[in-house]
Amino acid sequence: MSQLRRRTWIIAFLSLSALLAAGCGAGKPPILNIGGDFTLTDQNGMPFQLSSLRGNVVLVFFGYTSCPDACPTTMSKLASVYRSLGADASRVKTLYISVDTQRDTPPVLKEYLTNFKTVDAVGLTGTVPQIDKVTGLFGAQYEITPMPGMPASHNMYNVAHTTSVYALDSEGKTRFVFDYDATVAQMTEGIREIL
Amino acid sequence: MNIHKSQGRLANSIWSLVAVVCFAILSAAAHAQTPELIVKEAWARVPLAPQNNTAVYMMIDNPTATAKAIVAVSTPDAGSSDLHEMRTEGKMMKMIPLKSLPVPAKGSVELKPGGFHIMCNDLKKTLKPGDTINLVLKLDDGKTIPVTATVRALEDSSAPASGEHSMPMPEHHQ
């Protein structure tokens, strides 16, 4: 009889625990089936591994420093997001991954990021296969096209690229893909959900 | 009698001439008050080091009843200046060079982040917020329009295509 009562209590405890766990997870957005760990080179020329940022929300953005419009607009928007987050911004890191491996060397990335001091960003570069592997993980794309009228020797070309911002939770799981048109308020709210 | 008649003809001729001259003057005045295109709020994003380029944005109104097009842009302040459109194709945003930018009759076109812009490469002077870039828009009818774009700091230039405005706190620069 006492064994039966003990078993009943154990089952009740386990059921309650399961319910609580399910309840806690219900508020989080679903885990998206993109992303994964990777290693690239940071703006100081040092190896950087995504998993080193566990415990932080990580925003991943693919761009290139010569970009005249989409990248400055998105980085400025991220600066506004950081300001909106207030003290919580200290737990948010941004990865600016260049898809222009030829021109965006670590020193170029380092200087470029000084334009956005509010954004706690790491600039990343690598070989073409390394960058292709990371864009592949996130389903991002880029395409280098020659600038009309410019000879190849001028080293001037355009880079079409995905402009989404991927938001990873503290476990490195991708929870949001913010499109280019996502507002500061939408991004701030989403990030708060996964902090 | 003949003298009176010829005087009357002369008076008529003078009045006709006066009417024609007045009409011409009024037409010219009306034409002068309706310029080809009106450019407003021209601005450029402060160049982002180490890059030496920037994008220029503006609102262009066409008050006339004739559709116009901008077919070229020149500037003494940059090595090159080109009309571009940022266009999303599939998952990517592409920068498409434009041969001309139509401005509809009695309409307007806005150059803004995420849309149309004038790309200035190889800037010939250091630009900081408050400085200006001088440009000349060439129209399809051969006429030209001078434009002065004011350089804005980053915090003023973060409004994306969706029309959202940035927070007022300043972004710090080195």
Give the number of other Cβ atoms within 10 Å of residue B144's Cβ: 12
The per-residue pLDDT for A18 is 46
| A143 shares contact with chain B (CB less than 8 Å) | yes
Shared domain for B43 and B11, answered yes or no, is no
The per-residue pLDDT for B166 is 31
Question: What CATH number should be reported for the domain holding residue B124?
Answer: 2.60.40.1890
Mutate which of A80, A111, A161, A164 to test chain B, going by most B C-beta atoms within 10 A? Answer: A80
Vertex A123 angle, CA A120 and A126, to 5°: 155
The per-residue pLDDT for A158 is 87
| A165: chain B residues, CB-CB within 8 Å | none
| A52 shares contact with chain B (CB less than 8 Å) | no
The conformation of residue B100, written as its DSSP 8-state character, comes to -
Mutate which of A43, A65, A76, A180 to test chain B, going by most B C-beta atoms within 10 A? Answer: A76
Cα–Cα dist B8/A47, whole Å = 100
Shared domain for B25 and B45, answered yes or no, is no
Of the candidates B77, B78, B79, B97, which has an alpha carbon nearest to the alpha carbon of residue B87? B97
The per-residue pLDDT for A147 is 73
At B42-54, the pLDDT tens digits run 999 999 999 999 9
Cα A115 to the center of its chain, rounded Å: 19
pLDDT band at B25 (very low <50, low <70, confident <90, very high): low
At A127-185, the pLDDT tens digits run 999 999 999 999 999 999 887 666 555 677 889 999 999 999 999 999 999 999 999 99
Pairwise CB contact (< 8 Å): A84 & B167: yes
Shared domain for B52 and B93, answered yes or no, is yes
ipTM comes to 0.80
Q: Pull the structure tokens for residue A176.
A: 């949001």
Residue B110 lies in a domain: yes
pLDDT at B82 over 70: yes
Residue B72 to residues B81, B82, B128, B133, B148, Cα–Cα distance (Å): 9, 7, 26, 16, 16
Residue B71 lies in a domain: yes
| A164: chain B residues, CB-CB within 8 Å | 91
The conformation of residue B157, written as its DSSP 8-state character, comes to S
At B118-160, the pLDDT tens digits run 999 999 999 999 999 999 999 999 999 999 999 999 865 554 4
Q: Pull the structure tokens for residue A175.
A: 């929870």
Of the candidates B144, B21, B5, which has an alpha carbon nearest to the alpha carbon of residue B72? B144
The per-residue pLDDT for B164 is 33
How many structural domains compose chain B?
2
pLDDT at B35 over 90: no
Residue B171 lies in a domain: no
Structural domain for B14, as ranges: 1-31
Residue B80 to residues A149, A158, B43, B95, B119, Cα–Cα distance (Å): 11, 15, 17, 16, 8
Shared domain for B118 and B72, answered yes or no, is yes
What contacts A93, CB < 8 A, 6 or more positions away? Answer: A53, A56, A57, A58, A59, A120, A121, A122
The per-residue pLDDT for A174 is 98
pLDDT band at A192 (very low <50, low <70, confident <90, very high): very high
Residue B8 lies in a domain: yes
Shared domain for B47 and B120, answered yes or no, is yes
| B149: chain A residues, CB-CB within 8 Å | none
In terms of DSSP bridges, do strands A157-162 and A165-168 run parallel, antiparallel, or are they unpaired?
unpaired
At A18-62, the pLDDT tens digits run 444 444 455 789 999 999 999 999 999 999 999 999 999 999 999
Quick check: bond before B63 cis, omega within 30?
no
Beta strands in chain B (DSSP E): 38-45, 54-62, 68-74, 78-89, 92-97, 101-103, 107-111, 116-123, 132-139, 144-152
Residue B68's identity, in one-letter code, is K
Is B53 within 8 Å of B117 (Cβ atoms)? no
| A108: chain B residues, CB-CB within 8 Å | 50
Shared domain for B12 and B63, answered yes or no, is no
User: HSE (CB half, 13 Å, CA atoms) of B69?
Assistant: 8
Shared domain for B10 and B55, answered yes or no, is no
Chain B residues at the A interface, defined by Cβ less than 8 Å, are 45, 48-51, 53-55, 84, 86, 88-95, 97, 113-114, 117, 119, 121, 154-155, 157-158, 160-162, 164, 166-167, 169, 171-174
Q: How far apart are the first and last CA of chain A?
A: 47
Pairwise CB contact (< 8 Å): A117 & B48: no
| A156: chain B residues, CB-CB within 8 Å | 121
Predicted TM-score (pTM) of the model is 0.79
Shared domain for B45 and B9, answered yes or no, is no
| B160: chain A residues, CB-CB within 8 Å | 73-74, 77, 180-181
pLDDT at B33 over 60: no
pLDDT at A187 over 90: yes
More confident residue, B29 or B78: B78
Shared domain for B72 and B147, answered yes or no, is yes
Shared domain for B25 and B96, answered yes or no, is no
Place of tokens 């260049």: A98
The per-residue pLDDT for A109 is 98
Shared domain for B80 and B126, answered yes or no, is yes
The per-residue pLDDT for A27 is 74
- Percent of chain B whose predicted confidence (pLDDT) is above 70: 68
Shared domain for B2 and B69, answered yes or no, is no
DSSP of A42-103:
ETTS-EEEGGGGTTSEEEEEEE-TT-SSHHHHHHHHHHHHHHHHGGGGGGEEEEEEES-TTT
Residue B72 lies in a domain: yes
Residue B92 lies in a domain: yes
